[in-house]
Amino acid sequence: MSEVPSIRKGYSDGPHGQLHWRLAPAKAEANRPDLYCLHPAPFSGLAFTQIMPYLVQNRRVIAPDFPGHGGSHDFHATPSIADYAEAMMAVVANVSDDPVDILGFHSGCLVATEMALIEAAKVNRLALVDIPAFTEAERRKYLSQLATPLELTPQLYCLAPAWERGITRRIDSQGMDRSFAMFVEQLRHGREMNAAFHASFTYAIESRLPLLRHHVGVIATRSSLLEATRRAADMLPHAQLIERLDIKRAVLDEAGQSIAKDVLSFLDADQR
């Protein structure tokens, strides 16, 4: 599946090398804050290309790649969420003039949170979808299971987990072409493709979420992160929980139009 023609690509200099991004221009007058879309591990901004056209009613939409992901510069093996947040704020400083809104998905929610904490005045509102607010015990378990470097071997089987994430779980709802593109996107940084998992499972979410003073729209779908997302909403001082239990898969693709409506409804609520 090809990308939407109106989406253009570019690069910004960051603290850890060049950062790649995709930008979709507003359909009408851009009178709302730029919206930054932060991707899940271990993918890239490519994850948002199907939902971006539904988000651009009156705002620009930017989907950057974290360091060590997609087209961005390689990064070290054990980055932190703060490292990613610092890099994303470099893109914001380069591309946008005014405070921005942020849409996070899965691990992208954690980076969005940290961006708002380290540069509070430059962030307007956050919409966080399916937040991995795992307990400390769950994070330890997933750290050992998912956050280790990719072991490259001559046998094709070493790519089985990436195939499972990119294709097996997606093909029914996203089709072969889109699923294959997501599979390939994981592999671009080789052995360090799981680095964002390491960052996510070492992030002290219990101490960080309660510090947020921004208005946060928390969208919970019927996914494996449903209870974790509800837990996150309870920790946030100014959260509006929106439960979409009718959505069970392909949140940014098959359900993209519906999720975009909820995101924009929350982000633009102060304008009604």
**pTM listed for this prediction:** 0.94
| Amino acid identity, position 255 | A
Q: What is the pLDDT of residues 201-227, one digit of tens each?
A: 999 999 999 999 999 999 999 999 999
Q: What band does 3 get if pLDDT is binned at 50, 70 and 90?
A: low
User: Is residue 26 a contact partner of residue 8, using CB atoms and an 8 Å limit?
Assistant: no
pLDDT at 1: 42
pLDDT at 4 over 70: no
Q: What band does 272 get if pLDDT is binned at 50, 70 and 90?
A: very low
Q: What is the pLDDT of residues 160-180, one digit of tens each?
A: 989 998 899 889 999 999 999
Beta bridge pairs of residue 105: 129
Q: The tokens 């592999």 sit on which residue?
A: 187
Please give the domain boundaries of the chain with CATH numbers for all domains: 8-271 (3.40.50.1820)
3-class DSSP state of 158: helix
For the chain, percent of residues with pLDDT exceeding 90: 85
